[in-house]
Amino acid sequence: MIINHPLLGPCDAQEFIYKGDARLIDRPDGMSDGAEAAFYDYAYLRDNPAGEHRELWFHEQGDRSWLVVTRNTLTHEITSVELARDVARSRGRSA
Amino acid sequence: MHDLAPLTALGTTRPRQDTIGPLTISEAPDWALASVAARLEQERACADALAGLLGGPAPGIAQHVQGAELGAFWIGPHIWLIEAPYTPDLAQRVKSACGGSASVTDQTDAWVRFDLTGGGIVAVMERLSNLDIAQMQPAQARRTVIEHLGCYVIRHADSLTIYGPRASAQSLHHALVTAAKSAL
């Protein structure tokens, strides 16, 4: 499988480590009302879609960037690759 | 007083050199390295400081630049490695130039450097790494895996430089020589 890195171009998936559902970016506010339930959901509950899935990949044997890869779990087709930093910033999650 | 004999990463007093067919693999111990990581929201100031050190723009994505005294290559977003002929104060010099805009770490003793010169570089490297070596242009630098080791590979016009983890210098050297004997 080839991941088309937004900075470096096509890279072998062997260079990456899979880090799970991209929803991990949306860490709940631990000080808010209902934080316990929100963290239970955040820590334990995952969707397992047969189809398009947004997931985190870490370029461990490359430039160490975190990516959000949109992948079809049925076909392995990758339709979008973004820097996780940009995704997090667009949601106000990172400076 | 201590009386220590300087040894290269391969444990000898003189750098190892192997010639296999048209290719020469040379251990190059006389290099100093320092890493530079721009601090948050200081990326511009850090790049400007590096430009001052290098006498030209800091290297862009996957690029290597050679200044009058110092070289530098990109290893990640807003992270670079600075290289220079051996000097004990490279990291201090880079830190004083970058000030509070970057975190600088001396990397000299962390890496072993091998220079590949002569013919057959592509044939050897395509057996060692999944980089597209034939497509790499001079002054491009990438991180990759060679023999399960994370290494930096820098393409020059007529040679290739590999930085690998110094603690695994013999494993990396063995892999290079084995691949060269197989390919050439």
The 10 Å CB-count burial string (b at 16+, else e) for B11-22 is eeeebbeeebee
Measured in angstroms, the CA of A10 and the nearest CA of chain B are apart by 10
Confidence of residue B1 (pLDDT cuts 50, 70, 90): low
B80 and B45 share one domain: yes
CB neighbour list of residue B150: distance below 8 Å, 6 or more residues apart: A61, B143, B144, B164, B165
CATH number for B64 = 3.30.70.1520
CATH number for B173 = 3.30.1360.120
Confidence at residue A93, expressed as pLDDT on a 0 to 100 scale: 82
Averaged confidence pLDDT in chain B: 96
Confidence of residue A92 (pLDDT cuts 50, 70, 90): confident
What is the fold of A2-90? Folate-binding fold (3.30.2270)
Angle between the N-to-C axes of helices B90-98 and B43-54, in degrees from 0 to 180, rounded to the nearest 10: 130
B74 and B84 share one domain: yes
Cβ count near B92 (within 10 Å): 13
Closest CA to B46 of B120, B104, B110, B92: B104
- The pLDDT tens digits for B46-100 are 999 999 999 999 999 999 999 999 999 999 999 999 999 999 999 999 999 999 9
Average pLDDT over residues B2-22: 93
B85 and B40 share one domain: yes
Which chain A residues are Cβ-neighbours of B37 within 8 angstroms? none
Do A32 and A38 meet the contact criterion of CB atoms below 8 Å apart?
yes
Measured in angstroms, the CA of B142 and the nearest CA of chain A are apart by 7
B47 and B116 share one domain: no
d(CA B126, CA B130): 7
Do A54 and A38 meet the contact criterion of CB atoms below 8 Å apart?
no
Confidence of residue B2 (pLDDT cuts 50, 70, 90): confident
State ipTM.
0.85
Percentage of residues of chain A with pLDDT beyond 90: 92
Alpha-carbon B63 to chain mean position: 12
| A63 touches B at CB < 8 Å | yes
B128 and B60 share one domain: no
d(CA A91, CA A26): 9
Closest CA to A11 of A19, A2, A22, A20: A2
Interface of B with A (CB under 8 A): 40-41, 61-62, 74-77, 79, 130, 142-145, 150
At residue A64, what are phi and psi to the nearest 5 degrees?
65, 20
Kindly report whether the global pTM for this prediction surpasses the value 0.90: yes
Do B47 and B63 meet the contact criterion of CB atoms below 8 Å apart?
no
| A85 touches B at CB < 8 Å | yes
